[in-house]
Chain A
Amino acid sequence: MANVLAFAETRDGAPRKVALEAITAARMLADATGGGEVHALILGAAGVSEKAKQLGEYGADVVYVVEHAALANYSPEVAAATAADRAKQGGYRAVVFSTSAQGRDLAPRVAAKLDAGIVTDVTSFKVEGDAITVTHPMNIGKVGATVSISGTPAVIAMRPNVIAPAANAKAGKIELIQPALDPAQARVTVKETKQGGGGKLDLAEAPIVIAGGRGLKAAENFKLVEDLAAAFGNAAVGATRAVTDDGWRPHSDQIGQTGRLVSPDLYIAVGISGAVQHLAGMRTSKTIVAINKDKEAPIFKLADYGIVGDVFEVMPALTEAIKEAKKGH
């Protein structure tokens, strides 16, 4: 029986979906050790303790909250010092993060402070005697590794969207704590967090991702992708490097080896050839659909369903059909 700490990431002052995934993963780990407690840590500006109550509904027994006026934006050094401090005091079996941009930044800092073993981009885990064994894709997803982490705690960062947040109501007792580092002392300060576009869903979290490639021909034709995303209502828009290189979309939308990793329930590739570097970022999607006018395009080898056709003809028809299908619900 051992306790597990989960770091709850926020955006705009509220826990992100990846935070709920981390809590769920921590709950599974604690249960696998014979039923320990899950403790969560969340940092933010005034009001975050109110939002943190949600973490109890997903399996946190205790939620440690740092509320500080200087923490509206992510503060890597304050978060790392506080998480390491809490981990030392709590004597946890594992500390769980998400492999998001923030988790990738924070987890290694905390692991270093604890002199703990760390694996990121974890797709599954098991408690095996003295070790925690995880699976971790290597070589842009072309090789799967099973890796054991010895020592306590083990630091793991879960790949987003591989564990569905599971409601599992626990006490969720809120405990306000002080940051382990005065934010004024930080050498690194996030001055501003700018959202990519009005109310757009987050690529790492969206259950549906619609990605556009050079087949769309011009930046303004991404409207076809956005319209389909809007028809679904729960879809985010992604892009290939060909597209971000040409400045049609921001680099933060790029999916692939040098971009984001996504594994949504549904991935729709629109005018995308399916280069290995692109596949590296989306091959673990549950269902893949491809629309391409070239029936030999490599993306069709990976896609569950393909339509051979012109995106300018297929996309408006698909958007209408999805609107209709959604009405029926």
Chain B
Amino acid sequence: MKIAVCIKRVPDMDVRFKIGADSASVDETGLKYDLNDFDAWAVEAALQLREKAGAGEVTVVSLGPDAAQETLRKALSMGADKAIHLKTERIPFDSSVIAKALADELRGGSYDLILFGKMAPDTANGVTGPIAAELLGVACVTAISSLEVNGQTGTAKRELEGAQEFVEFKLPAVLTVDEGLNTARYPTLKGIMAAKKKPLEVKPVQLGESKVNVKKMELPAERSAGKIVGEGAAAVPELVRLLQTEAKVI
């Protein structure tokens, strides 16, 4: 089984962001970056499928500036076999542009499965996988939280709002990975050493034109600090009164 996994390098979200001087980007100074969590689960899923089959190859692909190679090395040290760096000056906001570049690389690679994360938390659109699937003309199942592959078909589960969907699909397919599918392994020291010798191919790409462009970024207004109504059950009547008269939600 030949599997490709598209992975993105994203900033750690546990910080206070600052807006860049152009008012249309995030100031990158001091940010820490890592492999997107959803993509780590996608890499893990690919590794498990390869291990279960006892054969196959896992290729990881990332589009972005040179720093993307650090993310690719991480996936290699988890156990992926080879990496492709689609080199660009920056990662665009428009996921369609990313999807096109990824599809151009993946087309003709005769992959049985192409895995994506459900979403990248920075741009937060969650559309790259299904757009790439359309461009490649293959089946697509999004946001899967369980997966079973049997020859040329597979089954997956999707979590909806308060419901679950059980899906059957034909290979080749694009799958996007939700939380709950697995727990990603950490790279071992041995894995990190081995990754240094694995092939990482660098391919400069020209990005297409964006139809979707960021005009402005700003920090949302802080919620004004609320009030502690009181302590324990004694505070309940006052809370209910405030919900009725002030917040008017009851």
Task: Give the interface of A toward B (CB within 8 A).
Answer: 11, 73-74, 76-77, 80, 100-102, 104-105, 107-109, 111-113, 116-121, 133, 136-151, 187-197, 200-205, 208, 232, 236, 241, 244, 250-254, 257-260, 265-266, 276-277, 280, 283, 286-289, 295, 300-310, 313-314, 316-318, 321-322, 325-326
Closest 3 CB pairs of A and B: A117-B211, A112-B134, A108-B127
- What is the CA–CA distance of A257 and B225 in the complex, to the nearest angstrom? 22
B143 at the binding interface (Cβ < 8 Å) = yes
B-side interface size class: 35 or more
Pick the contact of B215: A117, A147, A193 (CB < 8 A): A147
CB distance from A204 to the nearest CB of B (A): 4
* A207 closest partner in B (C-beta): B249
A139 touching B13, Cβ below 8 Å: yes
A301 touching B220, Cβ below 8 Å: no
A202 touching B211, Cβ below 8 Å: no
Chain A residues, CB < 8 A from B244: 325
B81 at the binding interface (Cβ < 8 Å) = no
Once A and B bind, how many residue pairs between them come within 8 Å at the CB atom?
288
- What is the CA–CA distance of A275 and B93 in the complex, to the nearest angstrom? 27
Chain A residues, CB < 8 A from B178: 251, 258
- What is the CA–CA distance of A105 and B130 in the complex, to the nearest angstrom? 7
- What is the CA–CA distance of A31 and B38 in the complex, to the nearest angstrom? 39
CB distance from A96 to the nearest CB of B (A): 15
B219 touching A142, Cβ below 8 Å: yes
Given A143-B219, A305-B242, verify A188-B141 contact (CB < 8 Å): yes
B54 at the binding interface (Cβ < 8 Å) = no
A143 touching B218, Cβ below 8 Å: yes
CB distance from B35 to the nearest CB of A (A): 14
Pick the contact of A117: B96, B121, B228, B232 (CB < 8 A): B96
- With contacts A109-B140, A120-B125, A149-B212 known, what are 7 further pairs, Cβ within 8 A? A133-B215, A143-B220, A146-B215, A188-B169, A203-B161, A252-B160, A304-B226
